[in-house]
Amino acid sequence: MSIELLKVSAWSNPKSVAGAIAGVLRERGYVDVQVIGAAALNQAVKAIAISRSYVAAEGLDPICIPGFQDIEIGGEGRTAIRIRVEDRSVAAAALSVVASAEGASHSGDDDASSEGEPTA
């Protein structure tokens, strides 16, 4: 299964979408869900909540990262909401890698003063 993006509409069945979210989470560890409009967002949020119960027994703990995406539909520009759903442990591991990389880049910096402020 190679799903890049799940598009959810106001008429999407939340249980069906939840199954798709769970399947992609199991396969890739994350999935992007895209919606346009309040009713579609409602269906997507219900599906994400339902999907949590589908993957909990496998130790997955989905979290959401929302954002905006400019898209074009029928030659007209629209703004969609894109929700990245990923396992909390995958997100925590990614943050750990970023934090250790930032720590390594600052390892020679012992100057704790703020920029522009004199040190004693």
Percentage with pLDDT > 70 across the chain: 79
Say what the pLDDT of residue 102 is.
Answer: 79
pLDDT in tens, 50-77: 999 999 999 999 999 999 999 999 999 9
The reported pTM is 0.76
In a domain, 71, yes or no: yes
The one-letter amino acid code at 76 reads E
pLDDT in tens, 22-31: 999 999 999 9
Domain count of the fold of the chain: 1
In a domain, 68, yes or no: yes
Distance CA 107, CA 116 (A): 21
Which residue range is the domain that position 20 belongs to?
Answer: 6-105
In a domain, 51, yes or no: yes
In a domain, 49, yes or no: yes
> Which of 39, 43, 28, 40 shows the shortest CA–CA distance to 84?
28
Question: Looking at residue 68, which CATH number applies to its domain?
Answer: 3.30.110.20
Say what the pLDDT of residue 111 is.
Answer: 52
Pairing relation of β-strands 6-8 and 30-35? parallel
pLDDT at 113 over 90: no
pLDDT at 33 over 60: yes
